[in-house]
């Protein structure tokens, strides 16, 4: 499926950001200054690229077809697995944002620790999550969905990707990711 190949590519980009974020966290752990503005940009990358752009396609197009067409196994996998993990990731990002705000008011070791904890909590969750999708969820969809359903998901994802607003979001955040990798 074209849509699944695209989502796998997005997973690679998300894992690239996790690698950059891990390097930043190690540096902060070793005394490098905390850069709240940069962390807020990382939070925006996560919210706009990883969550809205990538998870948005899963939640709007792929997962509803899977739960509708593939029965209880898909329902459990999606509703009690993948969507729960999406929400857990959002919780880490909200807590990271709160930790950055707290650090700006009080640059204490405790607030620095909260930044490191939530940043890597999100990263570790997404590493496991993307692996499950790549190894279990996507192959299940490709194997079990009818060609008509696959075509429907592909068409919806293609339309989403071609929307100028979504092209702008994707390009903006992939450019930011490349900048962050160069600085790492």
Distance CA 176, CA 178 (A): 5
The tens digit of pLDDT for each residue in 118-165 reads: 999 999 999 999 999 999 999 999 999 999 999 999 999 999 999 999
For residue 165, the model assigns a pLDDT of 96
As a whole-number percent, the residues of the chain with pLDDT over 70 amount to: 100
**Structure token pair of residue 88:** 């857990």
**pLDDT single digits (tens) 18-41:** 999 999 999 999 999 999 999 999
Tell me the CA distances in angstroms from 135 to 3, 8, 11, 168, one per residue in order: 15, 10, 12, 29
CA distances from 74 to 43, 141, 157, 172 (A): 30, 9, 20, 34
Question: Domains in the chain, please, with CATH?
Answer: 2-183 (1.20.120.520)
Q: Is the per-residue pLDDT at 90 higher than 90?
A: yes
Indicate whether this model's pTM tops 0.85. yes
Q: What is the chain's mean pLDDT, rounded?
A: 97
Query: For residues 99 and 122, is the Cβ–Cβ distance under 8 A?
Result: no
Q: In this predicted model, what pLDDT tens digit does every residue of 49-78 receive, in sequence order?
A: 999 999 999 999 999 999 999 999 999 999
């Amino acid at each position: 499926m074209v849509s699944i190949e695209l989502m796998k590519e997005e997973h690679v980009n998300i894992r690239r950001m996790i690698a950059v974020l891990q390097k930043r966290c190690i540096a902060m752990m070793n005394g490098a200054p905390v850069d709240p503005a940069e962390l807020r940009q990382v939070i925006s990358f996560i919210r706009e690229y990883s969550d809205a752009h990538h998870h948005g396609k899963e939640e709007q197009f792929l997962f509803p077809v899977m739960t509708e067409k593939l029965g209880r196994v898909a329902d459990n996998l999606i509703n009690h697995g993948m969507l729960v993990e999406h929400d857990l990731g959002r919780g880490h990002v909200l807590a990271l944002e709160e930790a950055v705000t707290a650090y700006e008011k009080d640059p204490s070791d405790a607030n620095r620790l909260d930044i490191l904890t939530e940043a890597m909590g999100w990263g570790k969750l997404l590493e496991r999550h993307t692996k499950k999708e790549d190894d279990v969820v996507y192959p299940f969809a490709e194997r079990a969905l009818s060609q008509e359903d696959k075509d429907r998901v592909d068409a919806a994802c293609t339309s989403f990707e071609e929307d100028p607003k979504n092209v702008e979001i994707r390009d903006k955040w992939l450019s930011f990711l490349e900048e962050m990798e160069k600085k790492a």
